[in-house]
Structure 1
Amino acid sequence: MLRILPSTKVLVTALVTGLTLGAAPALAQCGGSFSSFVGGLKEEARQRGHDAATVDRFFASVRQDQKTLNADRRQGVFQLDFTTFARRLISQNRINAGVANGKRYDSVFDRIEAQYGVDRGVLLAFWAFETDYGAFQGDFNTLNSLVTLSHDCRRPELFRPQVFSALELYEMGDFDPARTTGAWAGEIGMVQMLPGDIIENGVDGDGDGHVSLKTSAPDALMSGAKMLQHLGWRANEPWIQEIDVPAEMDWSKTGLRTTMSPAEWERMGVRPRAGQWFANLPASVIIPQGRKGPAFLAYPNFNVYFEWNQSFTYVLTAAYFATRLQGAPVFDAGNPDPGLSGEQMKTLQRRLVARGYDVGDVDGILGAKSREAVQAVQQELGLPADAWPTAALLNRL
């Protein structure tokens, strides 16, 4: 499981939930005795109109799970650079299995492409990375994880609403508090969806009257496609395209904050690596390992990936793998300057903070805010502003 944290759509759910509680008595949002916290959840569930006996049965088996907390704190895989991360995740076996599953569920993908406009490669890539095409869907008790993360005071607003969504699924007969398992962050099924997303976007793809994301590939794939559409996926449009960049250009224009048409990028020396431009859409040049490394043009649909997962490296790898499953060649890794270790990255982040830059968490991960801060300080120092931190930059600071 490769979540850095649940997607931003959960926060929206949390905000909406907060508005609907009205003048209900304030309940502890996190921390304190775990048993008392569960008691507060039960009281809130009753205030929301759930039957008291049903609430008691739903929470009867819940336990605090230290393994969930350990997994939440342990996400060092996201310190890897894009090339290393992509090579680790994209094996020939995963490619072969993706091709085979594309053929096996061809009619399902045809329905998805017609109804939601989501290319099969996109869903196959998520299916591969999230659960190895359903082979390993996570062995964490889902309710225990959700309640544990709600009790933990790091991000309770993300997880607390999901507890009550799980209760709704239980009342519908589609959730077993004692036996439903999934990822450590509470996602369930082959494409790993949170309970609230299942309620909002679940699709009965196989026509059996239930949305069974753990056992039915048609249900999982159709539900994933509907969720992507809900998150803003633009039908039948590309997401990324590999490009070649010139040896010199205004590197400060790279990154997701700047969009131009492919024709405008071409005037700056940018070229598609193979064939023609996919579309005449606003797009950004992204160079995950700086100006000497791999390069891609990111179209509007690429931004939707961040609603599914907030790790830049994961998102780019999933987006690239989707193109690979649809026939794109292996990307050109180039010859990027060596990056920083996790500890070096933390040192750089602390030095950037000291200079007044917002890097988000000082966690050793080159996330979106850290990339923006690196690019800004490179401009300040008169360096090529390609947002790639190196030992030379660290020494300059």
Structure 2
Amino acid sequence: MSYLLLRGLSNCATACTLLLLTACAEVPAQPLPVAPLPSASPEAITASTAMPAPAPAPLLTFEEWRMLLRSDAIAAGINADLFDRTFAGLTLDPNVVRADNSQPEFTRPVWEYIDGAVSVSRIAQGRLLKAQHRPTLKAVRKAYAVDHEVLIAIWGMESNYGSNIGSHNVIRSLATLAFDGRRQVFWRTQLLAALQILQNGDAPAQGLIGSWAGAMGQTQFMPTTFNEHAVDFDGDGRRDVWRSTPDALASAAHYLQASGWENGQPWGFEVNLQQGFDYALADPEIRRSVAQWRILGINPTRTIDVNEHSLATLFLPAGHRGPAFLLLNNFRSILKYNNSTAYALAIGLLSDALDGNPGVQAPWPRTDRQLGRSERIELQELLTRNGFEPGPADGIIGANTRKAVRAFQQRQGLPADGYPSHELLQKLRQP
């Protein structure tokens, strides 16, 4: 969903009508994307590493915009008194706009992100909490058929087991983004959903508190996700993902269940590749059964219980010089929670560790230098100049760019892993 829709609207009434029609939509998760690596926190995972397009110049003052929003909210069933109380004295938050527009030139390598996400302390704390909440986890698994470990891993990644749920006023953050952000239609949808949460009485006494981007509670749900998937699991009459651990864990399980989670099956597993393997098969569009991958000589690095008929894709998060993984359906379910392969891989590895399994066996190429945003843009421009089709030069290494990189590597007689390394950029720079 994009703010560009607003730019083409010269009439404010038309704008409000179109915005209201989008109020039930959410950004769809893409199938197995090659997402940019996160720069710091789980929240940063969903941010693009490309230079953001500037937000459109506001057509209205904030007060005029608020009055139009009020009309839309009332038409959507929000009580007028609730709206007035919620917006009384509310101002824009410039820190939220800066956070929305902030895009780092350099991002952390995937192995550094995994190191932090699957740390010894997080594993140890997660194991203790898994034992402490075992009765709740068993009840949640009975209700939603989702394994204990993945829920604990999501809890740990999203809020450090409930210790860091954010401190922003969600209504203020979303109002700021809906008025002055880069994806105004999306943020307006979330704002209307947040008002519904208040009206339903699910918010804690101190109001809706969350991240600068409006993610809430111990499992960091966006308001639309909350309205659709949050549950009252402790039976107190409220869906309290802020203070109730049973509600938070069950809500995450409900969301994973709706995303197609297969209880008892792995998210994926690390594999060994034979010498001379065709790395071009590490393509998210290529799906084969585990048995078919075995025929190609791809086998798990450890004994694992998996359905041999399950479809899997081969994933090389750091290119052919790093570890390799077969990714199954549950990995795709995690991606629907957060649409980043780095995040989903961290959740999978953390859940494995919580179950007592070893970490990544193959070494990471830790001496590799990561491409900065400007270098990624240059790489895309050079690929285009050489007759390949990476898509727009936006600095985002997506499926089209990977495919173009793979084609260039094949022309050069290199391992066609689709990985945009610094060495590859140097070759493209050569006349």
Shared topology, TM-score over 0.5?
yes
Deviations 1:111-134 (A, max 9, x none): 222222211111111111111000
Moved more, 101-110 or 254-263: 254-263
Query: Gaps (5+ residues) in structure 2?
Result: 3-17, 25-55
Does structure 2 conserve the Cα–Cα contact (< 8 Å) formed by 1:234 and 1:301?
A: yes
- d(CA) in 2 for partners of 1:51 and 1:290? 54
Q: Are 1:116 and 2:144 counterparts?
A: yes
Aligned residue for 2:288, secondary structure, equals coil
Equivalent in 358, 370, 376 of residue 340 of structure 1: 370
Name the structure 2 match of 1:25.
none
Name the structure 1 match of 2:189.
161
Does structure 2 conserve the Cα–Cα contact (< 8 Å) formed by 1:124 and 1:322?
A: yes
How far has the Cα of 1:262 moved from its partner?
Answer: 1.6
Q: Are 1:396 and 2:427 counterparts?
A: yes
Query: CA distance change for structure 1 residues 131 and 392 in 2, over 3 Å: closer, same or farther?
Result: same
Q: Are 1:31 and 2:58 counterparts?
A: yes
Name the structure 2 match of 1:151.
179
- d(CA) in 2 for partners of 1:279 and 1:77? 42
Query: CA distance change for structure 1 residues 307 and 31 in 2, over 3 Å: closer, same or farther?
Result: farther
Does structure 1 conserve the Cα–Cα contact (< 8 Å) formed by 2:201 and 2:238?
A: no
Name the structure 1 match of 2:359.
330
- d(CA) in 1 for partners of 2:239 and 2:248? 8
Identity %: 32
Q: Are 1:282 and 2:311 counterparts?
A: yes
- d(CA) in 2 for partners of 1:131 and 1:144? 21
- d(CA) in 2 for partners of 1:353 and 1:128? 42
How far has the Cα of 1:356 moved from its partner?
Answer: 5.3
AA at the equivalent of 1:288 = P
AA at the equivalent of 1:357 = E
Deviations 1:199-248 (A, max 9, x none): 21111121111111110100000001101112222333221111111232
Aligned residue for 1:242, secondary structure, equals strand
AA at the equivalent of 1:218 = P
Moved more, 190-199 or 338-347: 338-347
AA at the equivalent of 2:121 = N
How far has the Cα of 1:179 moved from its partner?
Answer: 3.8
Deviations 1:79-135 (A, max 9, x none): 222211101222211001100110111011112222222111111111111110000
Instruction: Report the number of matched residues.
Output: 376
- d(CA) in 1 for partners of 2:281 and 2:289? 13
- d(CA) in 2 for partners of 1:81 and 1:233? 28
Moved more, 192-201 or 341-350: 341-350
Aligned residue for 1:166, secondary structure, equals helix
Query: CA distance change for structure 1 residues 230 and 16 in 2, over 3 Å: closer, same or farther?
Result: farther
Query: CA distance change for structure 1 residues 198 and 303 in 2, over 3 Å: closer, same or farther?
Result: same
Name the structure 1 match of 2:297.
269
Aligned residue for 1:283, secondary structure, equals strand
How far has the Cα of 1:18 moved from its partner?
Answer: 1.9
Aligned residue for 1:206, secondary structure, equals coil
1:2-81 alignment, distance < 5 Å: 18=21, 31-32=58-59, 33-74=61-102, 76=104, 79-81=107-109
Query: CA distance change for structure 1 residues 154 and 20 in 2, over 3 Å: closer, same or farther?
Result: closer
Query: Gaps (5+ residues) in structure 1?
Result: 6-14, 22-28
AA at the equivalent of 1:338 = D
- d(CA) in 1 for partners of 2:23 and 2:160? 38
Name the structure 1 match of 2:409.
378
TM-score by length of 1: 0.86
1:121-270 alignment, distance < 5 Å: 121-175=149-203, 179-270=207-298
Name the structure 2 match of 1:11.
none
Name the structure 2 match of 1:313.
342
**CA RMSD of the aligned region, Å?**
2.7
Query: CA distance change for structure 1 residues 223 and 119 in 2, over 3 Å: closer, same or farther?
Result: same
Query: CA distance change for structure 1 residues 76 and 311 in 2, over 3 Å: closer, same or farther?
Result: farther
Query: CA distance change for structure 1 residues 358 and 146 in 2, over 3 Å: closer, same or farther?
Result: farther
Aligned residue for 1:296, secondary structure, equals strand
AA at the equivalent of 1:396 = K
Deviations 1:308-337 (A, max 9, x none): 112222222222212221122120242537
How far has the Cα of 1:148 moved from its partner?
Answer: 1.4
- d(CA) in 2 for partners of 1:361 and 1:159? 26
TM-score by length of 2: 0.80
How far has the Cα of 1:344 moved from its partner?
Answer: 2.8
Moved more, 148-157 or 190-199: 148-157
How far has the Cα of 1:138 moved from its partner?
Answer: 0.8
